[in-house]
Amino acid sequence: MGREAVAGELMAHLARRDPGPGRPVAVVVGPPGAGKTALVLRAAHGVREHFPDGQVFVDLHPADSLPVPPDVLVRRVLRSLGGAPAAEHPEEYRAQLRNALSTRRVLVVLDNVDSEAQVRPLLVDDGRSAVLVAARRELSALPERFSRRIGALEEADALGALTDLVGADRTGAERPAALSIVRSCAGLPLAVHIAGLWLTARPHRRLRDLADRLADERDRLAVLRIGDLSVHAGVTAYVRVLPPPLRTALRELARSPEDFGIPEIPARVTPSPWPPADLLEELLHRQLIHPVPAARQDRTRYRLYDAVRLHAAEAARRAPARTP
């Protein structure tokens, strides 16, 4: 499903006025660099008339900082709505926030959410306010959530995004190079966006110059950065909060380009407290791997997202090789 369709579904869901146990909470989840923030901001802009009392945006895990705890989030949103947290006890200012959200129509947009605990204090059961979430992991325990998962763009959409930035004349004149660029970006919206900005800032350079640089996987993440935008930083934000066994598993899975399933895990990953099936489910839950078609229907195969694979392979090159 394209981003236009997903944005439309999010807006339709948030604009609901039918009675029920609570205003919908909408969640967008996906791998690093998939464009979750851009999508939720677009959806929030599209429903602004349904929330006349305003919208509040909070980044719950800014770069190079610790995640925002739920109680800090509650106080921050309450201040944004014009209310000073007068109470000392966390439950009392949570009650203040629930009262504020129940008497107004407010959309709270949360970016880089890591857990359900960060969202729950904002869920009010009277149907006035709503919460729109861009999450780094599945939030399966949230009640009555409306969830959409996004990933890489189709090749035509990725090429269109690059063309929008660079111009039809340049991409048309070097179509093979343009296709090589979007394929090296694996359809990742952030990577395509950075590539487009790189070319836009260098109108004197050929697309083939960038295509050739991106062809070298070992240098690809270093090239895909401009200003404060970086694919490497986006993946790092996901990886740095992983438990050590999962970080080790990523590095060891990245040593081989092959797909994998439960039977291969004991041979490819250092023994850990995570059983193979649980380890794969956790990596899937955290948007670091994705299922791929398998020759046998009774076996599920997985693959690291391309940017995650390159990031993990870089870490693997710095780490000592596993001793057989």
Tell me if 54 sits within 8 A of 101, measured CB to CB: no
pLDDT of 1 above 60: no
pLDDT of 284 above 90: yes
Predicted local distance difference test score (pLDDT) of residue 194: 98
pLDDT of 18 above 70: no
Residue 56's nearest CA partner among 161, 156, 160, 133 is 133
Predicted local distance difference test score (pLDDT) of residue 168: 97
Dist. CA 131–CA 12, nearest whole Å: 14
> What is the per-residue pLDDT across 241-257, written as a single tens digit (0 to 9) for each?
899 999 999 999 998 88
| Region 315-319 average pLDDT | 83
Dist. CA 112–CA 106, nearest whole Å: 20
Position 66 confidence tier, pLDDT thresholds 50, 70, 90: confident
pLDDT of 324 above 70: no
Instruction: State the DSSP code for 108.
Output: E
Position 3 confidence tier, pLDDT thresholds 50, 70, 90: confident
Cα torsion at 154, 157, 162, 168 (round to 10°)? 140
Residue 217's nearest CA partner among 190, 187, 257 is 257
Instruction: State the DSSP code for 114.
Output: -
Tell me if 46 sits within 8 A of 144, measured CB to CB: no
Q: Which of 36-45, 78-87, 88-97, 311-320 has the lowest mean pLDDT?
A: 78-87
Higher pLDDT, 258 or 260: 260
Joined tokens for residue 234: 């986006």
SS3 57: strand
| Region 138-152 average pLDDT | 90
Dist. CA 282–CA 7, nearest whole Å: 27
- Using a 10 angstrom Cβ sphere, with 0-12 exposed, 13-18 middle and 19 or more buried, the burial of residue 43 is buried
When the pLDDT of each residue in the chain is averaged and rounded to a whole number, the result is 89
Predicted local distance difference test score (pLDDT) of residue 23: 59
Query: How many distinct helices (H) and strands (E) make up the chain?
Result: 15, 9
Pairing mode, strands 289-292 and 301-304:
antiparallel
| Region 137-161 average pLDDT | 92
Dist. CA 224–CA 198, nearest whole Å: 8
